[in-house]
Amino acid sequence: MPDKKNSVKFLAHTLLLAGSLFLFSCDKPGTASVKHFSLKSEELRGRVIEADLNNSMVRVEVLACGEGLSKEWGGYSGFEKSFAVQPGDLNLLRNPNTFRATTQQTFTPTQGAGYLLTYVWPDDRSERIRVNNVNRLLRRDTLSMGDSMIRSVGDTLPPFALYDQDGEVLTTDYFDGSVTVLNFIFTRCSIAEMCPASTLRMKKLQRLAKQTKVQHVKFLSITLDPDFDTPGVLKSYARAYDLDEENFRLGTANKATIDDLTRQFGIFRKNVDDLPLDHTMRTMIINSKRQIIYQFPGSQWSAEDFLSRLPEGVEG
């Protein structure tokens, strides 16, 4: 009988030890603080130590890694490694932020063979919790609306949280005290009369508002393609269009959040052959109390028309 009890205890101890080894298999020897099972095979979570702006490189403390990287790098975390980064992402990683990214092999003149960070997202824990909590409210609000209801003139915006082109959290607080022009675009849109034309109209409206001294005006373009449009991609898009980013934000989030927003605002989008997305368009003016006061469906809206309506939103 005692032998049977000892066998049971030994088995339980063995299973507990095996479970611990599984959970911490990406840890540095002697530590048990970092887990990799929530990351994809080629993903990592890291903290920027130093950014080389001239060579588009960053030195990173690797906090956790996916299974593929764990095997390739020896199964460690907590070490430092250099990565090449794209210009838009470098803007996000120039500060000592915590981030999450996918890696791919590359070659640079200064470093030779190495790794490039792609699909870079901010990953500060407190900010992530804040964004998730706000967007849970959005999800609840979307479900309460039903399938046939969309927001229109006179309605108040739902709560939502995005990341802008600088990796900063943007919530509906952004609309307070200002009149905001809001639309939906995506950076890979290649149909000239759709997203590119809409962005050029937003840029023209921004310039006209500044010339005519309309006070407290903001602009916000939300992506329809969150699987591609990371904060860094949006930053490159803003630079490509030479947008005045002082009062012009571009926002992105996870797919579930964008799904809820497009559903609430009546934006239709779907994947089609030979195009990243097929979609409808809608441009709105939001007043200082977060209410929709004007909307125009489609892409053929006029900057002059919207300019004439901006003062109403400021007074809102």
Report CA 253 to chain centroid distance, whole Å. Answer: 4
Of 103, 123, 143, which residue constitutes the final position of a domain? 123
Pair 47, 130 in one domain: no
Dist. CA 134–CA 163, nearest whole Å:
12
Whether residue 9 is contained in a domain is answered as no
3-state secondary structure 80-109: EEEEEECHHHHHHHCCCCEEEEEEEEEEEC
Whether residue 10 is contained in a domain is answered as no
Pair 152, 296 in one domain: yes
Pair 246, 139 in one domain: yes
Pair 183, 70 in one domain: no
pLDDT of residue 76: 64
Distances from the Cα of 184 to the Cαs of 151, 196, 250, 283, in angstroms? 15, 11, 9, 7
Whether residue 74 is contained in a domain is answered as yes
Pair 138, 63 in one domain: no
pLDDT of residue 172: 97
Of 93, 123, 153, which residue constitutes the final position of a domain? 123
Whether residue 276 is contained in a domain is answered as yes
Distances from the Cα of 294 to the Cαs of 30, 163, 201, 266, 306, in angstroms? 61, 25, 16, 14, 9
Pair 105, 165 in one domain: no
pLDDT of residue 190: 81
Whether residue 71 is contained in a domain is answered as yes
Of 102, 123, 144, which residue constitutes the final position of a domain? 123
Give per-10-residue mean pLDDT for the chain (316 aa).
48 46 38 57 95 93 93 84 94 90 89 92 96 98 88 96 97 96 93 88 97 95 95 97 97 97 88 66 94 92 95 75
Distances from the Cα of 171 to the Cαs of 49, 176, 216, 252, in angstroms? 28, 10, 17, 11
Whether residue 6 is contained in a domain is answered as no
Number of domains in the chain: 2
Dist. CA 194–CA 216, nearest whole Å:
27
Q: What is the CATH number of the domain that holds 169?
A: 3.40.30.10
Question: In 3D, which of 153, 86, 144 has the Cα closest to residue 120?
Answer: 86
pLDDT of residue 312: 82
pLDDT of residue 28: 43
Pair 171, 245 in one domain: yes
Whether residue 41 is contained in a domain is answered as yes
Q: What is the CATH number of the domain that holds 46?
A: 2.40.50.140
Dist. CA 96–CA 92, nearest whole Å:
9
Whether residue 19 is contained in a domain is answered as no
Pair 292, 169 in one domain: yes
Long-range CB pairs of 210-216 (<8 Å, 24+ gap) are 210/244, 212/307, 214/179, 214/307, 214/310, 214/311, 214/314, 215/314, 216/177, 216/178, 216/179, 216/288, 216/314
The string of pLDDT tens digits covering residues 9-31 is 444 454 444 444 333 334 343 34
SS3 of residue 178 by DSSP? coil
What is the residue range of 104's domain?
24-123
